[in-house]
Amino acid sequence: MQVAVLGAGLQGSCVAMELASAGISVDLFDKNDRCMSQASAQNEGKIHLGYLYA
Protein backbone atom coordinates (compact mmCIF):
# COMPACT_ATOMS: atom_id res chain seq x y z
CA MET A 1 0.00 0.00 0.00
CA GLN A 2 1.17 3.52 -0.73
CA VAL A 3 -0.29 6.62 0.94
CA ALA A 4 0.12 10.33 0.16
CA VAL A 5 -0.15 12.79 3.06
CA LEU A 6 -0.86 16.39 2.12
CA GLY A 7 0.58 18.91 4.54
CA ALA A 8 3.77 18.52 6.57
CA GLY A 9 2.64 20.32 9.70
CA LEU A 10 2.30 18.68 13.08
CA GLN A 11 -0.69 16.51 12.18
CA GLY A 12 0.53 15.50 8.72
CA SER A 13 4.02 14.67 9.98
CA CYS A 14 2.64 12.56 12.85
CA VAL A 15 0.30 10.68 10.52
CA ALA A 16 3.14 10.04 8.06
CA MET A 17 5.42 8.74 10.84
CA GLU A 18 2.76 6.40 12.23
CA LEU A 19 1.96 5.00 8.79
CA ALA A 20 5.65 4.52 7.99
CA SER A 21 6.23 2.76 11.33
CA ALA A 22 3.43 0.35 10.37
CA GLY A 23 5.35 -0.53 7.19
CA ILE A 24 3.26 1.57 4.81
CA SER A 25 5.01 3.50 2.05
CA VAL A 26 4.30 7.21 2.60
CA ASP A 27 4.86 10.28 0.43
CA LEU A 28 4.62 13.54 2.40
CA PHE A 29 3.80 16.68 0.39
CA ASP A 30 3.87 20.32 1.50
CA LYS A 31 4.03 23.66 -0.28
CA ASN A 32 7.16 24.58 1.70
CA ASP A 33 10.58 22.97 1.51
CA ARG A 34 10.68 22.12 5.26
CA CYS A 35 8.35 20.21 7.54
CA MET A 36 6.53 22.12 10.28
CA SER A 37 7.86 25.49 9.14
CA GLN A 38 4.66 27.54 9.30
CA ALA A 39 1.87 27.39 11.91
CA SER A 40 3.30 24.28 13.59
CA ALA A 41 6.61 26.08 14.18
CA GLN A 42 5.01 29.22 15.63
CA ASN A 43 2.35 27.86 17.98
CA GLU A 44 3.36 29.32 21.38
CA GLY A 45 4.06 25.78 22.64
CA LYS A 46 0.43 24.70 22.39
CA ILE A 47 -1.37 22.18 20.20
CA HIS A 48 -4.47 23.89 18.84
CA LEU A 49 -7.51 21.63 19.18
CA GLY A 50 -9.91 23.90 17.33
CA TYR A 51 -12.07 26.81 18.32
CA LEU A 52 -13.87 26.71 21.64
CA TYR A 53 -17.19 28.47 22.06
CA ALA A 54 -18.62 29.32 25.47
What is the pLDDT tens value at each position of the chain, 54 positions in all?
999 999 998 899 999 999 999 999 999 999 998 888 887 666 666 666 667 665
Q: How many domains does the chain have?
A: 1
Residue 54's alpha-carbon distances to 2, 9, 30, 51, in angstroms, are 42, 28, 34, 10
Burial class for 8, CB neighbours closer than 10 Å (0-12, 13-18, 19+):
buried
pTM: 0.70
Q: 19 with 2: CB under 8 angstroms?
A: no
Give the integer Cα–Cα distance in Å for 35 and 5.
12
4 strand-pairing partners = 27
Domain assignment of residue 4, given as a range: 1-54
